[in-house]
Amino acid sequence: MAKMEEKDIAIQITGLKKRYRLGVIGGGTLAGDLQSWWARIRHKEDPNSKVGSKTYGKNETFMALDGIDLTVYKGERIGIIGHNGAGKSTLLKLLSRVTGPTEGEIKLDGRISSMLEVGTGFNGELTGRENIYLNGAILGMTKAEIDGKIDKIIEFSECAQFIDTPVKRYSSGMYVKLAFAVASHLDSEILIMDEVLAVGDMAFQKKCLEKMSQVSKDEGRTILYVSHNMNTIRQLCDRCIVMNHGKIIYNGGVEEAIGIYLDVEKNQQEMHISYENERRPIYIGDNFMIKLMGFDLLNRSEYVFYPDEKIEFQLKAHCFLDCENISLRAELKNREGQAISSAFIPLLKQATANEDYTIPFSMDLSCFRPDRYTVTFVLFQMNDISKASMEFDVVFRGFSFELRQNENIFWNTKYWGNTALNFLEKK
């Protein structure tokens, strides 16, 4: 990196900040604003502020980006990772000039084109071909440039057969393919992408990643790519930054960055997790008979486990009304949110109103394989006669943990699955 000179810089960001106002921004009607203004000069309470919303007053602000400094050299493929709300998308928005910064500046060398969303400006009534022209022009190409590339774009999109059909008749996959085909054939020197690869089938995703790598290597284009999918980051990027609370907390190698990112996620989970204010599904309502109040991880200080270990924890519940035959269902979900398995456990034969219950558990991990798991807890009552269950409480994100693999075995979870069951034996 040291031999890079100033002329090789593609993007230089210095002291970049973006501030958003919290609460309601500008009443929305002229009359409302005048009312607020009139109240303010008389030192009266704003008639348009919500009752009890003192906590997020009009002048409170939130720094979506809090001082970003970043230099990107030409031909680099930079991955940007961070949990939701870290400021990744805001950074991309500023770079693509969708909105302006509050402080600091961005210097760009080269045309920039952004794909914050695929198919921006697509019109359902127009045919695929017409949309290629429209979308290409929105992304900054001239008609002549598109003319020269249209055959390549159509071929890449795999939609040649339907190219003269209105896109509203397309399947969502075809739509995405067409949109990506246009965007990836742009001539711009800097390409910004926000999880556009999250859609489309596996084969097409692979094709897109290869295309991106190829344009970066062959034509020296710079790529900034935001994703929550670590595999695509690994495949595409050669440098990675980790963002947290509007700041860059790491800038360097991809694997190190992913490690730091996962730690950031993990550290945000305390040993004690309160469920009291956790959002419940609507059908649960607000009048609980019995409610899960919290979770404690026992005998451990972090949420990292190995398959030969057990997770020991306890759940706290509060009973509001007398009820009986309460059972617990624990649903284990993998990183993609797919349910892997569920356990049904009878919990309380008889629960008494205004009573607190603390119930210890032990979770066996021996048949699960490396991934990041989330456990959902459901309290329910089984009706003995109809055999139907009635749900009393649901906590979707009970807790999350990282299951690592024992060093001697390599398990490829993505292709081999989340569980290791002994279903086959040699006769």
Partner 1 sequence: MEKKWTAVIKPKKKLLDLNLKETFKYRDLIWLFVARDFKTRYKQTILGPLWFIIQPLMASVIHTLVFGQIAGLSTDGVPQFLFYLAGSITWGLFSGALTATSNTFVSNAGVFGKVYFPRLTTPIATSITQIFNFLIQFAIFGGTALVFFFLPDEHFRVTWVAALTPILVIQLALLGLGFGIIISSLTTKYRDLQVLVGFGVQLWMYITPIVYTSNELIVDGVVSKLYVAMMLNPVSSIVELFKYGWLGAGSTPWLFWGISWVTTFVVLIFGILIFNKIEKNFMDTV
Select 112 or 326, whichever has its Cβ closest to partner 1.
Answer: 112
d(CA 315, CA 292): 7
Q: Does position 117 bind partner 1 by CB under 8 A?
A: yes
Query: Judged by CB under 8 A, which of 35, 71, 102, 251 binds partner 1?
Result: 102
Residue 346 lies near partner 1 (rule: CB under 8 A)? no
| Residue 98 in contact with partner 1, rule: CB under 8 A | yes
Question: Is 172 an interacting residue with respect to partner 1 (CB under 8 A)?
Answer: no
Least Cβ distance, residue 359 to partner 1 (angstroms):
48
Find the shortest distance in angstroms from Cβ 32 to partner 1.
9
Closer to partner 1 by Cβ: residue 148 or 281:
148
Q: Measuring CA to CA, how many Å separate 406 from each of 256, 305, 309, 335?
A: 20, 10, 11, 19
CB 138 within 8 A of CB 101: no
Q: Work out how close the CB of 65 gets to partner 1 at its nearest, in angstroms, rounded to a whole number.
A: 12
Residue 134 φ/ψ, nearest 5 degrees: -65, -50
Interface mask toward partner 1 for 259-298; x: CB under 8 A: ----------------------------------------
Q: Decide if 397 contacts 376 (C-beta within 8 A).
A: yes
Please, what's the b/e burial string for 69-96 (b: 16 or more CB within 10 A of its CB; e: otherwise)? ebbbbbbbbbbbbbeeebbbbbbbbbbb
Total of chain residues touching partner 1, rule CB under 8 A? 49
> Which one of the spans 77-85, 128-136, 150-158, 229-237 is the region binding partner 1 (CB under 8 A)?
128-136
Burial of 371 (0-12, 13-18, 19+ CB in 10 A): buried
The residues with which 80 forms a beta bridge, in sequence order, are: 226, 241
Exposure string of 239-267, with b = 16+ CB inside 10 Å and e = fewer, is bbbbbbebbbebbeebeebbebbbebbee
Strands 290-297 and 272-274: antiparallel
Q: Is 61 in the site for partner 1 (CB under 8 A)?
A: no
CB of 162 to partner 1, least distance (A): 18
Residue 141, class by beta-carbon neighbours within 10 Å (0-12 exposed, 13-18 middle, 19+ buried)? buried
From 53-61, 134-142, 339-347, 360-368, give the range in contact with partner 1 by CB under 8 A: 134-142
H helices present in 60-198, as ranges: 88-95, 128-138, 143-157, 172-184
CA 182, CA 378: separation in Å to the nearest integer? 46
Map residues 12-51 to x or -, x wherever contact with partner 1 holds by CB under 8 A: --------x----xx-xxxx-x------------------
**Residues between 310 and 329 with contacts to partner 1, criterion CB under 8 A:** none
Least distance between partner 1 and beta carbon 230 (Å) = 25
Residue 4 engages partner 1 in binding (rule: CB under 8 A): no
Q: Minimal distance in Å, beta carbon 37 to partner 1?
A: 13
Q: Closer CB to partner 1, residue 121 or residue 346?
A: 121
As measured in angstroms, the least distance from the Cβ of 66 to partner 1 is 15
99 contacts partner 1 (rule: CB under 8 A): yes
When asked if residue 3 is in the footprint of partner 1 (CB under 8 A), the reply is: no
Positive or negative torsion for Cα 252, 254, 259, 264? positive
Which of the ranges 43-51, 103-111, 334-342, 371-379 carries the binding residues for partner 1, by CB under 8 A?
Answer: 103-111
Neighbours of 384 (CB within 10 A): 7
Q: Tokens standing for 338?
A: 């797919």
Closest approach of Cβ 165 to partner 1, in Å?
Answer: 13
* Interface residue with partner 1, options 61, 120, 366, 412 (CB under 8 A): 120
398 Cβ contact list (under 8 Å, min separation 6): 273, 275, 295, 330, 374, 375, 376, 377
* Of residues 103 and 278, the one with the C-beta less far from partner 1: 103
AA identity, residue 109: D
Instruction: Classify strands 310-319 and 290-297 as parallel, antiparallel or unpaired.
Output: antiparallel
Decide whether 135 or 418 has the Cβ nearer to partner 1.
135
Q: Please give the residue ranges that form the binding site for partner 1 (CB under 8 A).
A: 6-7, 9, 20, 25-26, 28-31, 33, 93-112, 114, 116-117, 120-121, 123, 125-126, 130, 133-134, 137-143
